[in-house]
Chain A
Amino acid sequence: MSTSKYTTVSIPRSLYNRIKRLVEETGFKSVSDYVTYVLREVVAMHEAEKYEEPFSEQDLEEIKKRLKALGYI
């Protein structure tokens, strides 16, 4: 088993080229740095979602109002 801190994932070359162009105008050193940054954000968002309530109080009111108008409750 490799002990390296890094591994490789594949992305379409067209996407790689788009990121490369994008990265040129930012402070990121490389496409890998940028992709790591973006993925950390997205993954953290999805991890947090798992623990959030799916419906806010306002959402619940909205749905219950509709279900009541529909005669379901």
Chain B
Amino acid sequence: MGKRLFVLGLDAAPPSLLFDRFIDRLPNFRRLLEASVYGRLRSCDPPITVPAWMVMFTGRTPGELGIYGFRNRVDGEYNEFKIPSSRDVGYLKVWELLARSGYKSVVVGVPPTYPPKPLNGWMISGFLTPSIKSRFTYPPSLRDEVLSLVDNYVFDVVFRREDREAVYRELIDMTINRLKVIDYLVDTKPWDLFIYMEIGVDRVQHAFWKYFDEEHPRYTSHDLFGDAILNYYRLMDEWLGRLLNRLNDDTALLVVSDHGAKYMKGAFAINDWLIEKGYLSLRGDVEPGTRISEADVDWRRTYVWGWGGYYSRVFLNLEGRERMGIIGREEYPDFLRDLAREITSIRGPNGEEWRNRVYVPGDLYSRVNGNPPDLMVYFDDLYWRAAGTLGYDNYYLPENDTGPDDSVHDYHGIYIFKAGGLRVKGLYRDLSIYDVFPMIADYYGVSLDGVGGLRGSSFLGELT
């Protein structure tokens, strides 16, 4: 019998919860850890879901992929953007690499895989799928199989709203339905590689973090929500127990997350800061919370503008690139350097020092495709989210600007690897998200000759 590997992706699962805080109440994960080698998995920069999963499964940087988030700016436009699709991923995915050696894969939930491309196996696209009316599977007939199993296959839930009870119910329903589909695929398809990514982990953490973490600045004790995240992990734990019984001992298991998570301190209104510093000009006043795309920006007097998110994308209004660019090409390098320095030195609301990280994409990536920002900014080691909206009296916002959100991303996710014949077990060294692609290839003994320029490498040689 050939080699088999099941990859379980838990979006945003951090080491602090899975290895530490919750582990005593997750018997199946606990048993899995005892039989595995595990540790922290350093995400890519930026450490966000899109592009991180595709970085993992191609071994390529966001710069090579030309994907910097779920919004990618349209050439020369200020706020128009494109949603990445499967067509935007121009590099070989791990399931395509394995297909060359005849291996069949099931791939569920990896973004961006919509619209699904033909593969040697079966695919259900991820949360950037428009709706269940879309052709979200490959082969197309798989869609009917899915919809005969569950009435409603949900790609994502809207977690940023105040009715958290409803959010929780929807999250649980979405996940239970997906697990039904996963169990069916595990049992009925002759797969060699199975990849299942669950977005619900990230969503439950964003919606409920402040109810369990006493360190959270807005920690709120709550009878019902205090265990919401734990209970979600328990749901995954119970299912993991059933999965481990379903898979024979020869099937290896790799559990991974694309980035970590931690409590959010607040949101920093980057565009209001840029206005105060004279980099951004508006015509007239705006209401607090106005989106920059809806504000009357005087682009002929604007040097810099920013997009919000778990990291901030900062753009310079460059002559010849932007429609109304005003920074000359010759001034650009000095302007960029000075701005980076100024942003790096931004302090917190009480004058406390922040650990800001400011990157130029060309310094992070060997190739920079697509429309990258000029600067990528993490405020205070990601503890402060970037607000893209503007018009506030104070650019330090205690809450997220676009609806309730209690957690931010962190640099380290997790990996857990269980396979026969492991000599090394237990907590092991940090790996990088770039190591996953070569590691999976190595597991199957598939050559990477001709797949040049990979950053990561397989660690399997250290384990046997």
Please give the residue numbers on chain A whose beta carbons come within 8 Å of chain B beta carbons, in ascending order.
46, 49-50, 54-56, 58-60, 62-64, 66-67, 69-73
Contact = CB atoms under 8 A, between A and B. Distances in A.
B115 A71 contact: no
Given A55-B130, A71-B400, A49 B115 contact: yes
Interface residues of B, number: 25
A72 B70 CA distance: 8
Nearest to B155: A66
Contacts, number: 50
A50 to B, nearest CB: 8
A46 B401 CA distance: 42
A70 B115 contact: no
B87 A46 contact: no
Contacts of A66: 156, 158
7 contacts: A50-B87, A58-B130, A59-B134, A62-B130, A63-B83, A66-B158, A71-B160
A54 B160 contact: no
B159 A55 contact: no
Give the residue among A59, A63, A71 with the most B Cβ atoms within 10 A: A71
A70 B160 contact: yes
Interface in B48-100: 70-71, 81, 83, 85-87
Interface string B148-172: 0000000010111100000000000
B404 to A, nearest CB: 8
Contacts of A46: 118
A69 B130 contact: no
Contact of A60 (B70, B83, B114, B159): B83
Nearest to A59: B130
A62 B134 CA distance: 11
Nearest to B157: A70
Contacts of A70: 156, 158-160, 403
B131 A67 contact: no
A43 to B, nearest CB: 10
Contacts of B134: 59
B156 A54 contact: no
Contacts of A69: 158, 160-161, 403
Interface of B: 70-71, 81, 83, 85-87, 114-115, 118, 128, 130-131, 134, 156, 158-161, 309, 400-403, 405
A71 B83 contact: no
Contacts of B115: 49, 54
A73 B160 contact: no
B50 to A, nearest CB: 10
B138 to A, nearest CB: 10
What are the nearest 9 A-B pairs in CB distance? A71-B402, A54-B85, A59-B130, A71-B403, A71-B160, A69-B158, A62-B130, A54-B87, A54-B115
A6 B447 CA distance: 32
A55 B403 CA distance: 26
Given A54-B85, A60-B83, A70-B159, 14 more contacts: A50-B87, A54-B87, A54-B115, A55-B130, A56-B130, A64-B83, A66-B158, A70-B158, A71-B160, A71-B401, A71-B405, A72-B71, A73-B71, A73-B81
B71 A63 contact: no
Contacts of A55: 83, 85, 130
Contacts of B83: 55, 60, 63-64, 67
A43 B159 CA distance: 40
B371 to A, nearest CB: 16
Contacts of B159: 70
A69 B167 CA distance: 12
Nearest to A46: B118
A67 B70 contact: yes
A12 to B, nearest CB: 12
Contacts of B161: 69
Nearest to B309: A72
Contacts of B118: 46
Contacts of A59: 130-131, 134
A58 B133 CA distance: 11
Nearest to B291: A73
Nearest to A58: B130
Contacts of B309: 72
A63 B130 contact: yes
Contacts of B85: 54-55
Contacts of A72: 70-71, 309, 402
A63 B161 CA distance: 17
A59 B159 CA distance: 20
Nearest to A73: B71
A54 B129 CA distance: 10
Contacts of A49: 115
Nearest to B85: A54
A64 B131 CA distance: 12
